[in-house]
């Protein structure tokens, strides 16, 4: 069975997917408590984020929201 290809999203796509701004994405990436995925260095001047890691982070945020509203 072939391994699943992991898609890397550059900053504009990450902004669109998360609804966050550039500064918020980088701030969350520096904050260990946030759980936000760390960027992958693609070259000296380019970074990206694994789409599946962003999906997992967003799902966790939604689960936290749902747990709070159920309480």
Mean pLDDT across the stretch 3-11? 91
Per-position DSSP letters for 40-62, written without gaps between them:
EEEETTEEEEEHHHHHHHHHHHH
pLDDT of residue 69: 80
Residue 25 vs residues 4, 29, 30, 36, 51: alpha-carbon distances, Å:
26, 6, 9, 8, 14
Task: Report pTM.
Answer: 0.87
Tell me the pLDDT tens digit for each residue of 12-53: 999 999 999 999 999 999 999 999 999 999 999 999 999 999
| Dist. CA 6–CA 21, nearest whole Å | 23
């Amino acid at each position: 069975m072939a391994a699943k290809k992991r898609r890397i999203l550059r900053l504009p796509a990450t902004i669109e997917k998360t609804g966050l701004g550039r500064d918020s994405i980088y701030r969350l990436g520096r904050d260990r408590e946030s759980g936000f995925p760390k960027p992958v260095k693609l070259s000296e001047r380019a970074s990206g984020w694994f789409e599946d890691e962003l999906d997992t982070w967003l799902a966790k945020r939604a689960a936290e929201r749902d747990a709070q509203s159920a309480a």
